[in-house]
Amino acid sequence: EAEKPEGDEALNKLFQQIYSNANEDTRRAMVKSMQTSGGTCLSTNWEEVEKTDYEKERQAPKGMEWKNYNNEKLPMKEDD
């Protein structure tokens, strides 16, 4: 009997299943949203992702801020 994955392993397996069963637009949306948001957003809706500039509208997790490799703070979308 195979063990069921838990935690991060289970989540990664779910994302792999979604990606492998998705059409080209969904895959494109997943890749672009994850890469351009710095890993803070994952979307499967290409119509939305195609129009969104995640780099311009970047938003760090609460209590954190975006910085580049030179430790310079980058502009972020204002908190709601």
Alpha carbon of 24 to those of 14, 55, 59: distances in Å? 18, 23, 27
Q: What's the pLDDT band for 37 if we cut at 50, 70, 90?
A: confident
- CA angle, residues 55, 57, 58, in degrees to nearest 5: 65
pLDDT tens string 51-79: 988 777 777 778 888 788 899 888 777 65
pLDDT tens string 5-25: 888 899 999 999 999 999 999
The structure's pTM equals 0.69
Q: What is the pLDDT of residue 1?
A: 67
Q: What is the pLDDT of residue 25?
A: 96
